[in-house]
Amino acid sequence: LLLLYSYTPEKYPSAGLEENYCRNPDADESGPWCYTTHPDIRFDYCAIPDCEDQCMQCNGEDYHGEVSRTESGLECQRWDVQEPHMHGFILKHYPDKDLKMNYCRNPDGELRPWCFTTNPNKRWEYCNIPRCRERQETTVLSSQCLSEKGEDYRGRIAITESGNACQHWNTQFPHKHGWIPDRYPCKYAEPHHSNKYQAVIPYRSRCRGKRRTGFPHLCCYVVILNVCQCSLLLFRSWSSFFFSLPAYSHIFFSLISSTSHSRAICSSQL
């Protein structure tokens, strides 16, 4: 049982299990933790400061501020309404993405926070969110503070809340475990602009054109090349689309471009 619920860098290459720093490889609701060097205390949680709300780290997935206008000044559409733009970015599909009111957010790993606009002729736009103070370089999309459950935390705190030193992830003493990187395939493999950022959505799931509907776990087969080659349906710029959702067993979308008659047929892989 110890091996089933244990963690080492080899089994979890994407979890940032470096040295003995606090991490959250299993998405624990209580946040980052570590095995301790105390023989009688197997693991403990770490006290990580919350992220700043009014600025963004990296690509702004941890942004929880209240900016509600796009970079051109358009008012954002509320996430819980479907007018003037219909979409699938709703709390049911993205419960951990803080889709409140009409605030700018980045639920899908875009370059920075964005929103649908209240202008019927402009589906979506990026928001102008200031960057937080400069941080130390890291090798993955990461955070030095606590955001959500701390799964992206890559800081260097190595002491638990109770003051115990953390055990190195690549050692088995005093606590045996199996949290090693090989168990996690490198799903964050597409760099953003520099080697300190990596994509949140797997490389094969990234559309190359403008996109956004928000329906998760969908496969997109594109008829016309140079439009989008992806395994998640994340189109933004289609002028119209129609779909049916019969119990998520077979989901088909027909999307017709506003600029041509090119068509993408998508089906689920649930």
Q: How high is the pLDDT of residue 229?
A: 34
The Cα–Cα gap between 206 and 252 comes to 19
**Beta-strand relationship, 43-45 and 191-192:** unpaired
* Predicted confidence (pLDDT) at residue 160 exceeds the cutoff of 70: yes
140 part of a folded domain: no
Asked whether 124 and 212 are in contact (CB, 8 A), the reply is: yes
Model confidence at 8, pLDDT cuts 50, 70, 90, reads: confident
State residue 65's pLDDT score: 87
In a domain, 248, yes or no: yes
Q: With respect to residue 12, please indicate whether it lies within any of the assigned structural domains.
A: no
Q: What does the pLDDT average to over 157-173? A: 81
Residue 197 has pLDDT above 60, yes or no: no
Q: Which of 28-37, 41-50, 132-141 has the lowest mean pLDDT?
A: 132-141
Q: Give the per-residue pLDDT at 63.
A: 85
Average pLDDT over residues 121-141: 72
pLDDT of residue 80: 93
- Structural domain count, the chain: 1
- Residue 24 belongs to a domain: no
Identify the band that residue 110 occupies on the pLDDT scale cut at 50, 70 and 90: confident
Q: Domain range holding 259?
A: 218-268
State the pLDDT confidence band at 257, using cuts at 50, 70 and 90. very low
Does 118 fall in a domain?
no
- Would 36 be classed as within a structural domain? no
pLDDT at 152: 66
Burial of 99 per CB tally in 10 Å (0-12, 13-18, 19+):
buried
